[in-house]
Chains A and B, each alone.
Chain A
Amino acid sequence: MDVTLRVWRQPDSASEGGFVTYEANGVSADASFFEMLDMVNEELNDRGEEPIAFDSDCREGICGTCGVMIDGHPHGPQRGTATCQLHMRKFKDGDTIVIEPWRAEAFTVVRDLVVDRSPFDKIIQAGGYISVNVGAAPDAHDTLVPRPAAEASMDAASCIGCAACVAACPNGAANLFTAAKIAHLGLLPQGQPERYLRTVAMVETMEDYFGSCRNYGECETACPKSISIDVIAWMNRDYVAAQWKNFRKQGQQV
């Protein structure tokens, strides 16, 4: 199949970017989207031009490295998958495909389709961890985890941090990402000691970089892991509880 690509090209974050049109001819319908881009890049390389830069790593939808806006869909028109799991059979012969990087004030374009997602790292640094004594692995039955909590936490933990939620959000909000990380730890017994400090720290860091939730639900449809916006409701509830508990504990903090 033959497709026409309109790709965002930008040499670095300081330069102006723009769209460049490329023809991808004779692409197999069974090729993945990135294999198609790899073919285009091979041709560019042969012609001595700079290949299109895009992020990708595992190419099996688990690392969260990849992600581009394809025809106005984050990760492309297929629901519940990352860009690397998108195949050319989802497009028609002769289609024109517009490929853009994630757009948000917090994400700067590093080059072409690659954006700097380090604000996500800032959110994780603020509290997306638990503090434990390292040593021998604890016995599996040491800490009992209720089955529903384990399931809900696992659903949230499936977040791969690809930032499609921010890209999809008309407000540039990272609520789905942050809520998934907060719920992932806050639902489990291991996350309880730092729960309320974590919730406040992560929410406040998120708000330093991103917009607010207007309950559109776009993030949920864009998420390659189909994480439900129920986690955002959970975060909203936990944030209020956290502010209250931290207020009550003020005198006890060292």
Chain B
Amino acid sequence: MTTTTRRLDVNRRSGWRSWLGPFFTSDIGMKWMMALTGIGLVAYVLVHMIGNMKIYLGAEDLDHYAEALRTLLYPIVPETGVLWMFRFGLLAMFIIHMWSAIVLALRNRRARGKIRYTAKRQYLAANYANRTMLWGGVIIFLFLVYHIADLTLGLTNPDFVAGEVYNNVITSFQIWWVALIYIVAQIALAFHIYHGAWSVFQSLGLSNPRYDEWRRWLAVVFALALLIGNSSIPIAVQFGLLQVSG
């Protein structure tokens, strides 16, 4: 009996037998790309959060930090040169991360078939975090668009003044629904990282019984640190602990 299943169009490999071609079009290769870009993005998010903590030191510290980022390695590279390098790097990682997620999601939908189980599936291992990776990712993406419009470009922030990072953040977060958007996005990010930070070891084949137990803890601590650190800012602004300066 022959099977009716055919290879997905998107799954069709070219005859080009280099290492990169077949590897990065395979599901496993795409998971590798997703894992590697995920590590890069999460490292950025962590550095970003640590930088954000400068807000508790006052306007001068935060604005100076922002200026320092623009003039990083200034005399050696042009002003904002390093900043743009990071931006392009992040953009590339985002595109690869989302591209592989979308391609794999389409393949998976197809592979799962049209007829679903009638009895409610009794999941034993799958949890909320890993079943919502795709939609969590969409929420994070939409948030990022808003976040850049809000605090980088100042499009949605009427009181935006370029360079006055501290005041821009606080005038934005004083609106309750803006604060809420930021907190909701941080919760989505925490769920995403809760699964992602654990999953990375599996996708890259780095799991090992010697430290497998710690992978879960690493993911929990990482997700919680980002959630608490980043959400603390809109919460502090809402409670009036951080005020517009000068």
Contacts and interface: CB of A to CB of B under 8 A. Distances in A.
Interface string B147-173: 000000000000000000000000000
A172 B206 CA distance: 24
Interface in B121-160: 121-126, 130-131, 133
Contacts of B7: 208-209
A169 B104 CA distance: 14
Interface stretch (B106-114, B185-193, B234-242): B106-114
B5 A233 contact: no
A112 interface: no
Contacts of A8: 118
Contact of A212 (B27, B119, B201): B27
B11 A116 contact: no
Contacts of A57: none
A239 interface: yes
A105 B205 contact: no
Interface in A219-233: 220-222, 229-230, 232-233
B112 A72 contact: no
A203 interface: yes
Contacts of A243: 19, 22-23, 29
B3 A116 contact: yes
Interface size class of B (residues with CB under 8 A): 35 or more
A19 interface: yes
Given A207-B27, A218-B123, A230-B209, A172 B111 contact: yes
Contact of B117 (A103, A209, A236): A103
Contacts of B2: 118
B205 A72 contact: no
B77 interface: no
B206 A216 contact: no
Contacts of B111: 104-106, 171-173, 209-212
Contact of B1 (A69, A104, A110): A110
Contact of B3 (A19, A209, A217): A209
Given A204-B13, A220-B125, A105 B117 contact: no
Given A170-B126, A212-B108, A119 B3 contact: yes
Given A209-B3, A212-B27, A236-B202, A71 B125 contact: no
Nearest to A116: B1
Given A103-B115, A236-B203, A212 B19 contact: no
13 contacts: A19-B118, A103-B115, A105-B114, A119-B5, A207-B11, A211-B27, A211-B108, A214-B104, A218-B126, A222-B124, A236-B204, A239-B28, A240-B205
Given A119-B3, A218-B123, 11 more contacts: A72-B117, A72-B119, A98-B118, A105-B113, A116-B3, A169-B112, A172-B112, A211-B107, A214-B130, A218-B126, A239-B29
Interface of A: 6, 8, 19, 69, 71-73, 77, 79, 98, 100, 103-108, 110, 116, 118-119, 169-173, 200, 203-204, 207-218, 220-222, 229-230, 232-240, 243-244, 247, 250
Interface of B: 1-5, 7, 11, 13, 17-19, 22-23, 26-32, 104, 107-108, 110-126, 130-131, 133, 195, 198-199, 201-207, 209, 212
